[in-house]
């Protein structure tokens, strides 16, 4: 992420991609399509929560293990938000806030 931030010519595009694009796509896949199908299966809430968080975390293999663990925990939080709100939009906004703040921080380094 730091390398991307240092080599970007247009920081706005980096922010739009990482801060808005990625959360939309990832949340509609993991807390949208997969969540809806698995939540109603035998997996139930806990299985769905663990599996979607795990797959979402390993999607980010470009990061060190500590960051992947953080992403897994964030996935659990996003899953709980999805479950409690009944809406995909709460986790989308939470994810966008997380990525947006991380992007701003990387651009500052």
DSSP state of 42: T
- Confirm whether 21 is domain-assigned: no
- Confirm whether 22 is domain-assigned: no
* Per-residue model confidence (pLDDT) at position 107: 83
- Confirm whether 7 is domain-assigned: no
* Per-residue model confidence (pLDDT) at position 108: 82
- Higher-confidence residue of 14 and 35: namely 35
DSSP state of 31: I
Half-sphere exposure in the Cβ direction for 96 (13 Å, CA): 14
Does 5 score more than 80 pLDDT? no
- Higher-confidence residue of 89 and 62: namely 89
Average pLDDT value over all residues in the chain: 93
- Confirm whether 9 is domain-assigned: no
- Confirm whether 59 is domain-assigned: yes
Region for residue 100 given its phi and psi (left: phi exceeds 0; alpha: psi -120 to 50; beta: otherwise): alpha
- Confirm whether 32 is domain-assigned: yes
Residue-range definition of the domain harbouring residue 42? 28-108
Share of the chain above pLDDT 70, in %: 98
* Per-residue model confidence (pLDDT) at position 2: 67
What total of structural domains would you count in the chain? 1
DSSP state of 9: S
């Amino acid at each position: 992420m730091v390398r991307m931030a240092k080599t970007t010519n247009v920081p706005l595009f980096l922010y739009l991609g990482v801060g808005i694009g990625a959360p939309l796509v990832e949340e509609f896949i993991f807390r949208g399509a997969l969540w809806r199908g698995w939540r109603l299966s035998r997996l139930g809430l806990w299985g769905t929560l663990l599996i979607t968080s795990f797959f979402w975390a390993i999607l980010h293999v470009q990061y060190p293990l500590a960051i992947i663990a953080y992403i897994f925990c964030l996935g659990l939080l996003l899953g709980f938000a999805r479950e409690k709100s009944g809406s995909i939009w709460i986790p989308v906004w939470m994810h966008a806030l997380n990525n947006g703040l991380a992007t701003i921080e990387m651009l500052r380094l």
